[in-house]
Structure 1
């Protein structure tokens, strides 16, 4: 898909389709009014017949446009004008995307980007948000379909985002550049997470990292094997991998495009490519979705690719702890005590609390090998995060207030939200053990918080934040599939760090 920006009147566009908004109670946008005047009242007559009343998400396609240069007009309902906020804008863009996906034209002019969105006054934001929403709706995972499957075909190949004035074009072009790179990163993350566990193994992730560095200038990849991790004393990560015939990998990707004196931002991802729970076996229902337990790793891949594609002048390191968690005669057991790379010992009370073990050693590796400015880990860590926040926001923890605030603001900016949660010392006592330095789980209460508290024991020397993405990394049911979150949040955070210091 080719995305461009332009400033011009809707009635003068020679394209397959012009997309304009209609607000609730049949109130045309300024762009729709211009088309209506040029067409002799065509849009007004459609609204009078009741085919479009402006309800949010409603769409109507108009043909037979007389003297207009375009082949079609797509009317998109935007809801009440006074309530046209970020969420309403996203829904309107999604509705437009659904129609464009099924439409026959090869190009279109998109005028929803000219609408006033409450609380937003940047056309760069409007263009970027529209692009991300459209790409999200266009996504299909077809890599594992058989030869008889007819893959989705879309005729649309060129979409022009419109802005009111020529002076708005630089901001809009920035929105396209950031949006395309972010959307490509989101797609990469979705593809990885949607891949089945028999294909997407820790070795597959390592190969993907090597391939990424081969095709993108400035990215270096190193893969630590189990022998390397054993020499480093990574007993927590290796304890998890013992039940699997697939060897664990610690994947390190470095992008050094800042100055040598710039401390790197480090992104750490949980890469459990399939999680059966180990000896503490999960229930069979929906266990297939545990291929998504590497959503944190997928997000690191996506954010790293986006940063390199945008050529951000920044130093970023991606670290992925990749393993499977399966039951086996050699699998670690409840009651076992593992020694982490940090030297801290961990009593295993539940082998299904494995992600924190893998991340613990990854965080220690980061502490010993880098002098990071900030460390952000992300993991599909706990069902408790879903209970607390549902599927709208990731749970956000951290030991540094400015870092937490920057991540929350980045998520708000791109609609990939995270919500701050407490990380008080009082929760640490829930991890007390009679036999080791700590247990790997606390009680039933506050499960997401005690999981974050566990990780904090391995990140106290770091400026650190943790995103529990269990509620946002994938969708279940009819819409089952990876979301690519929080790639957009992470990418926006890196952009903000680059240009705001």
Structure 2
């Protein structure tokens, strides 16, 4: 990770620097700056960076970074492009002095820069290691820096969990990695192995995982500070590899199925961030974990599963397994905790990408206030999120004649019908529940803005921003 430092004045050794565009009263006098920017036609578009080399002057390299209107999105974009443009340097000094809201600019810049600097293979990370941020008074932005660094660290953790190949990553490995991080952060850990899952009636998780030699698990993280009056329970889909089961996927569709536990990675990392930031709310994450494999012991189309809590599902597709494991964990959360808010995150449907493209997650909720709060949090975090309707006319599409529910329908509206299926397991908490399908934005095929190639850790930033409003 990048090492961020705060300072009020630049050092004489600062040879590689970055200035915002537009900027008022920059800390360096660059006589050729105006002519350079005019020739480049650089007027400050957010995220646009132009490089000026001055071999006989100090600083010798100046990056002019557009911050747009100077809002958080502009500073986030500038941070991302500056670290990419200056990747071959070992350090850079960045002037944030022109920001109208320096704490907000600091956090946004740190998030953009830190996330863009991530690489799935640490050995291939560029040499840039240190970023000095020049602000008017370091003491006034120190907390914003800490917030940004925590978000970067925990989002990067979610990315690394998701990027890890399934030759290494299975349910037990996920439990081991996350439990170690949670223990270090002072977060309580509880684990269900396959025997405990079976004994306690988590039959959906057991069914999905029974085709693999690497058995299912469920992991709970619980951050419970003294005096907390609000309780948020998060549930994240944790399919560590998805073949589709007996309804097997085409080979090409399996290539990235190591990412099918992105929801579990996001909710676990969000709890760790809440602990880092000592937020005054209780946050619990449940991550049902399984491999969806093909074997003689695998679950079958036509099976009927009795979930935790008693609802039953007729299996119409073994490739609609995510909602099956989420259902058990959600029912448990409602029974055990009756939380103020119940939010599930999942790489759930390919229909998410059809409806909203590659950068936007789908939000479904009955409660307008909760939906609005999550949309606002996503907006501040810079993560795309759009609300879809839980259209009641579609309920019949997931209603079985021999069980309570179907887990799949061929009638279209796949993202919405998945949400309607899960809504049944929110039970008495339906008016405090939200479902987020983050299948599309969980992965970036190429670097873009603050996103590095590969897993994005989508959802961690949105959840942290949401927590901060409670």
Per the normalisation by structure 1, the TM-score is 0.86
> Alignment partner for residue 308 of structure 1, among 252, 270, 275?
275
Kept in 1, the 8 Å contact 2:378–2:462? The answer is yes
The residue number in structure 1 matching 2:94 is 110
**Distance in structure 1 (CA, Å) of the matches to 2:394 and 2:121:** 44
**Distance in structure 1 (CA, Å) of the matches to 2:366 and 2:139:** 37
- The 5 Å alignment of 1:103-252 reads 103-104=89-90, 106=91, 108-111=92-95, 113-115=96-98, 122-142=101-121, 151-157=124-130, 159-163=131-135, 165-166=136-137, 169-217=138-186, 219-252=187-220
The residue number in structure 1 matching 2:53 is 62
Kept in 2, the 8 Å contact 1:64–1:71? The answer is yes
**Distance in structure 1 (CA, Å) of the matches to 2:460 and 2:159:** 10
Quote the offset at 1:357 in angstroms. 0.4
The residue number in structure 1 matching 2:297 is 330
The residue number in structure 1 matching 2:77 is 91
The residue number in structure 1 matching 2:257 is 290
Decide whether aligned partners of structure 1 residues 480 and 284 sit closer, same or farther in structure 2, where only a CA change above 3 A counts: farther
2:459 is aligned with 1:492: no
Could you give the per-residue CA deviations for residues 3-22 of structure 1, whole angstroms, max 9, x where no partner exists?
233444x7x76523221134
**Secondary structure of 1:350's partner?**
coil
Kept in 1, the 8 Å contact 2:162–2:259? The answer is yes
Kept in 2, the 8 Å contact 1:62–1:72? The answer is yes
Unaligned runs of 5+ in 2: none
**Secondary structure of 2:221's partner?**
strand
Quote the offset at 1:335 in angstroms. 1.0
Kept in 2, the 8 Å contact 1:417–1:489? The answer is no
Could you give the per-residue CA deviations for residues 292-345 of structure 1, whole angstroms, max 9, x where no partner exists?
000001101211221111122221111100001111111111111111112111
**Distance in structure 1 (CA, Å) of the matches to 2:345 and 2:126:** 34
Decide whether aligned partners of structure 1 residues 225 and 84 sit closer, same or farther in structure 2, where only a CA change above 3 A counts: same
**Distance in structure 2 (CA, Å) of the matches to 1:51 and 1:95:** 17
Quote the offset at 1:246 in angstroms. 1.0
When the two chains are superposed, the root-mean-square deviation of aligned CA atoms in Å is 2.3
Could you give the per-residue CA deviations for residues 107-149 of structure 1, whole angstroms, max 9, x where no partner exists?
x3212x3455xxxx53222111111111111111126xxxxxx
**Distance in structure 1 (CA, Å) of the matches to 2:237 and 2:373:** 22
The residue number in structure 2 matching 1:351 is 318
Quote the offset at 1:171 in angstroms. 4.8
Could you give the per-residue CA deviations for residues 18-65 of structure 1, whole angstroms, max 9, x where no partner exists?
211345xxxxx3245x63xx35x23235346x3564474232132235
Could you give the per-residue CA deviations for residues 253-275 of structure 1, whole angstroms, max 9, x where no partner exists?
11111426x24211111000001
Decide whether aligned partners of structure 1 residues 114 and 422 sit closer, same or farther in structure 2, where only a CA change above 3 A counts: farther
**Distance in structure 2 (CA, Å) of the matches to 1:328 and 1:273:** 17
Instruction: Select the structure with the greater relative contact order (CA < 8 A; seq sep ≥ 6).
Output: 2
2:89 is aligned with 1:100: no
Unaligned runs of 5+ in 1: 24-28, 144-149
The residue number in structure 2 matching 1:5 is 6
Decide whether aligned partners of structure 1 residues 128 and 84 sit closer, same or farther in structure 2, where only a CA change above 3 A counts: closer
Decide whether aligned partners of structure 1 residues 170 and 464 sit closer, same or farther in structure 2, where only a CA change above 3 A counts: farther
Quote the offset at 1:236 in angstroms. 1.4
Quote the offset at 1:487 in angstroms. 0.6
> Alignment partner for residue 36 of structure 2, among 24, 37, 46?
46
> Alignment partner for residue 415 of structure 1, among 349, 365, 382?
382
The residue number in structure 2 matching 1:73 is 62
Quote the offset at 1:76 in angstroms. 2.6
2:225 is aligned with 1:257: yes
Kept in 2, the 8 Å contact 1:51–1:60? The answer is no
